[in-house]
Amino acid sequence: MPEPVTTIGIGAIAAYLGKDGLSKLLGPTADYLGGELKVFTQKRIENVGRIFKSAEEKLGSNLNEDGSVPPKVLKTVINEGSYSSDDLAIEYFGGVLASSRSEIYRDDRGARIARQLDNLSSYQLRSHYVIYSTIARTCTINEESLSNNACRRKCQILIPVQEYAEAMEFTQQEWDNPQLLSHIFQGLSADGLITDSWGVGDPNHLRQYLVNKRLKLDDKFSGVVCEPTIAGIELFLWGFGKGECHLNEIFDKDFHKTFLNDIKPICNALQSGK
């Protein structure tokens, strides 16, 4: 007689984790897992296993401390994340799960973050990563706080469009799509993940958005300009398992070591808000 799908599913997910991994990661919420998996296909179960593995890796030794994931977060991450096979989405969903593990059982903020994450297209999510990892590496704000609007404006960045395209790994067919860039940046702006002061083009077009109007650009320059938001920074931190950290954590050099090696970093961005 074949095993019930829930037993198969839990066993498949547990295989991604170490000994007692499910109970360590989820705490008492692990008891909810069977019911959530009973209608899942094998591919969705595999994606959930990868998300759980990502969460476990991000937690590291903190996995041995007391804590659990609120059931509402587990439900949202499983239902939304199980359809995501993209490596970056798996990383972000794993980060949200890791960020949600705490001793405060009612802290279900991760459910909202996971829904926000699921609402993004793969283009928007990759651009979110490219934008915020570039801000983290490029910008300096001294002792100011990203909680302050004026400080965030100082973190406006200007990315050479060729480097952006390489980081996104656009094919020529994608690059030729006249709606793609507006889909990406207008979508991120509409979701509050960047401000509405963004632009793509030559210096004459970009100057209307620049905080620093005196910034000199070569006439042949073509780029992308955008500004961070609290929601965008928050999603970035949660996606790396840092949901408990201050917004300024994105500038920490140890945090930068966790950035993804398979996405080409932007090397020639400018902090155009200075």
Q: Are residues 126 and 111 in the same domain?
A: no
Whether residue 227 sits in one domain with residue 155: yes
- Tens of pLDDT, residues 35-78: 566 657 788 888 888 999 999 999 998 888 888 999 999 899 98
Which pairs with CB-CB distance under 8 Å and at least 24 residues apart come from 26-34?
Answer: 26/68, 26/69, 26/74, 26/101, 27/67, 27/68, 27/69, 27/101, 28/68, 29/68, 29/69, 29/70, 29/71, 29/74, 32/71, 32/74, 32/75, 33/74, 34/6, 34/7, 34/9, 34/10
Say if residue 132 is in the same domain as residue 68: no
Confidence (pLDDT) at 83 = 86
Tell me, yes or no, whether 186 and 97 share the same domain: no
Count of the separate structural domains present in the chain: 2
Confidence (pLDDT) at 32: 62
Q: Looking at 74, 98, 118, which one is the last position of a domain?
A: 118
Verify that 35 and 47 share a domain, yes or no: yes
Q: Do residues 137 and 157 share a domain?
A: yes
Q: Tens digit of pLDDT for each residue in 113-166?
A: 999 999 999 999 999 999 999 999 999 999 899 999 999 999 999 999 999 999
Domain that holds residue 73: 5-118
3-state DSSP call for residue 272? coil
| Final residue before a domain boundary, out of 72, 99, 118 | 118
- pLDDT, mean of residues 170-199: 97
Residues 142 and 267 in one domain: yes
Which of 118, 141, 156 represents a domain boundary (last residue)? Answer: 118
Q: Do 266 and 223 share a structural domain?
A: yes
User: Do residues 172 and 230 share a domain?
Assistant: yes
Total-model pTM: 0.88
156 CB-contact burial (10 Å; exposed 0-12 / middle 13-18 / buried 19+): buried
Same domain flag for 83 and 194: no
One domain, residues 111 and 165: no
